Amino acid sequence: MTPRPPPAIFISAGESSGDHHGAAVAREIRRKLPRARLFGMGGREMEAAGVSRIAGLDELSVMGGTEVLRRLPGFLRLERRIRRLFVTEDVRLFLPIDYPELNLRLARSARRQGRRVLYYIAPQVWAWREGRAAKLRRDCDRVLTVLPFEAALLERHGVRTDFVGHPLLDATRAPEGGAGAGRPSGPPAATGSTAALGGRTSSGGRVIGLFPGSRAQEVRHMLPVFAEAARRLAGRHPDLDFIISRPPHLPEVLYAGAGFPTAGAREAAERSWAALTKSGTITLELALAGVPMVVGYRMGRVEWAIGRRLVRVPSIVLVNLVAEAPVVPEFLQDRLTAEDAAEALEGLLPEEAPARREMLRGFEIVRERLGKPGCAARVARHAIELLGDPDAEGRPGGPC
């Protein structure tokens, strides 16, 4: 009998967070199914995990409707390349990670070709564009959610789904000493000769992290006001130091005008006593690390005018949505000013400040509701189950 060829899996991530989560899943698939051939779109982490990339994050980093339209010809060319690879490599499973602008189209193509589709980190249909639920029902064998309230909503639309917990729980531990500690329990990180210990530098100054986003367009919109807020705080609190989160696929020159050093998101979070951040998954990462925060968000006026009519949730901050309470203050569009952001951050600086203590208590609720560690392993088990491969190690014998 001719031996069965090793299965080919295509993992598709369009942002740095998706690259990180995709790499974790790729490693688990490799561990459980060593013969698998992995292809995909993503960044350096997925490549290091053994995924043969056909596109990098720099080709996929877009924000807002007008930017997507400008990049549409390139997206269509990339989509054609991937559809051809589905055939030439006989891809048996397509595993998209969030990034619905392109991944929903690719899911449709994969489904039409008769391939299995496992969507990981479902598009946020609960926030806007609920019509995408119909596409998920039509084009996905299974959708894996990472927020506790998503599965029930998608199931009401007939989507086959499962809550697998949040992948951030695999990388963080609860701050030692309970919510009052408010610091990550991992080792301190260092840049240059300055190390941060529990959100303070070796000289005793506190570190404030600025997280303006992982897309160039986000950084251009938000970094100027974030940096001005930092300068205002520095004028009132000379002991403060500031650091900007910069993903590896964005050039340093994009941050040159801010006047503060940069570091990777994880290092910046580990070093921060408090943070000024955009909305998105980074707010959950900071919450799990015990870093009190203020959220600000701006986009182009056309995108904002469209988006505000479509968004159907009371907050754009994931921490607030998971906690079902206004744990974190948010300043959106014209309400995001340097002075207001600086003032809100100032109230979080004293260790015993009521606002800081209350926020850290809210973070405990968020951690509890996000499930248990082991998300990547659960995603890999779902993938192997859909492949139906008899050579897989540790195939699921029950629910994840």
Write the pLDDT tens digit of every residue in 79-103.
999 999 999 999 999 999 999 988 9
Residue 395: pLDDT band (50, 70, 90) is very low
Where is 145: in which H helix or E strand? strand 142-145
Helix ranges restricted to H, 264-300: 265-271, 281-288
Q: Are 234 and 242 in contact (CB under 8 A)?
A: yes
The mean pLDDT of the chain is 85
Q: Are 179 and 245 in contact (CB under 8 A)?
A: no
| Domains detected in the chain | 8-165+374-387 (3.40.50.2000), 171-369 (3.40.50.2000)
Question: How many degrees, rounded to 5, is the angle at CA 308 between CA 303 and CA 314?
Answer: 140
Q: Across residues 377-397, what is the average pLDDT?
A: 76
Residue 188 and residue 204: Cα distance in Å, rounded? 14
Q: Across residues 213-231, what is the average pLDDT?
A: 93
Q: What is the pLDDT of residues 296-316, one digit of tens each?
A: 988 756 564 545 555 556 688
Asked whether the whole model's pTM tops 0.75, one would answer yes
Residue 107, number of CB atoms within 10 A of its CB: 26
User: What is the 3-class SS of 46-104, one letter each residue?
Assistant: HHHCCCEEEEEHHHCCCCCHHHHHHHHHHHHHHHHHHHHHHHHCCEEEEEEECCHHHHH
Choose the weakest-confidence range: 29-33, 160-164, 307-311, 343-347.
307-311
Where is 341: in which H helix or E strand? helix 338-346
